[in-house]
A and B are shown apart, each in its own frame.
Chain A
Amino acid sequence: MGTDGFGPHVAFYIGDIPVSETVTVTWFIMAFLLIFSIVATRNMKKEPKGLQLFTETLVKTINNLTTQNMGIKNAAWAPYVGTLFLLIGISNIIGLLGLRPPTADLNTTMSLSITTFVLTQFFGMKSKGPLKYGKGFLEPIPFLLPLNIIGELANPVSLGFRLFGNITAGVVIMSLVYGALGSILGLAVPIFEAGIPVVLHIYFDLFSGVLQSFIFTMLTMVFVSGAME
């Protein structure tokens, strides 16, 4: 802990435990999604338009994505897939509001990827039976058991660090760019901070953000359905 570096700020303490702005921004996102869900599902008409049309399209897209990647029998996974997609997606682009993306914190990305890992193992065992599932680690030859286990354990790590790395890189580069632009010519008003970072915001926040949330959810579906098959 210190005042330097690019880590998340401490928002407040619970006893001795420091709670970072990652958690508070996540609460903000949760509140937004809760209000959105309640408002969007109120007074649903048979003929959708406006907000309802957007909501239906969103839910339908996530449902379709889930059934296409995991099969029609796993349609119940859509809420989890949607949670990942919406949480990561909004987290990634919330940098546009000047907030620190929760996904730029290893605690967030690892909690998500480890959740996926636990679900993968649990549903793999549940669907195949523990014995058959364990036997899968001995294939194609038992000699490869250690490698298979390492490979399995590498999944959540790579999943979490990929997201964390991409978003954190964006955050670091953006703050460096802002710092550099603010110090050009030593002007009292950092006029260069206006306009120029937009291109980088579009890439790091919008493009990379949406792409990474998509990658995370896709890989989650692939891992879970792969373990279940």
Chain B
Amino acid sequence: MSMDLALRLGLVELNWNFVFQLINTLILFLILRHFLFKPVTTFMQNRENEIKNQIQDAKNLEEQGLAFKGEYEGKLKHAEEEGKEILRKQTQIAETKAIEIVKSAEAEIESMKVSAQKELERERVKAINELKDQISELTILAASQVVQKNLSESDHKELIDKFISEVGDTRWQN
């Protein structure tokens, strides 16, 4: 064996080892391609794609979120305006109602006033009528008394004065 090891091939010569090295290179190429380059490149490519997809997803989500945000901001603004509108309408309605109420109250007061005056008038008329009745009664009474008694001048005068004082101002007011 040591003899064989000591044996050397020429330094610059082509021999069968050329063929062996050709085969070795081919085998090594297949080994590296199958066991190193393909799996590692595929793995890195997949990871790259995954990261790209994730970034794309994140972008999409962000866009979606922004769209939602805009939408909700719009809605919020709309709602605010709507609320203001409702408030304004309700205030208007309330004001109208208040005015109506005040008006109707005034009208009622007016009508009450009118009816009270009418009542008063009626009462007055009634009173006057009663007074008139009483006066006529009194007159009749006085007349009957005059007729029953032969009255003297002084009696006359007395009677008349009495009558007048009894009837009073009522007559004149009539």
Chain A residues within CB distance 8 Å of chain B: 1-13, 17-20, 22-23, 26-27, 29-30, 33-34, 36-38, 40-41, 44, 46, 55-56, 59-60, 62-63, 78-80, 82-83, 86-87, 102, 105-108, 110-112, 114-115, 164, 168
Contacts and interface: CB of A to CB of B under 8 A. Distances in A.
Secondary structure type dominating chain A contacts: helix
Interface string B7-29: 11111111111111110110111
Secondary structure type dominating chain B contacts: helix
Interface residues of B, number: 38
B36 A41 contact: yes
Nearest to A18: B9
A60 B17 CA distance: 33
Nearest to A104: B11
Contacts of A10: 4-5, 7-9
A4 B8 contact: yes
The 4 closest A-B pairs by CB, nearest first: A37-B35, A79-B33, A37-B36, A107-B17
Contact of B6 (A3, A11, A86): A3
20 contacts: A2-B7, A2-B8, A3-B7, A9-B5, A10-B8, A13-B4, A26-B21, A30-B31, A33-B28, A41-B39, A56-B40, A60-B44, A63-B41, A79-B33, A82-B32, A82-B36, A83-B33, A87-B28, A107-B17, A111-B22
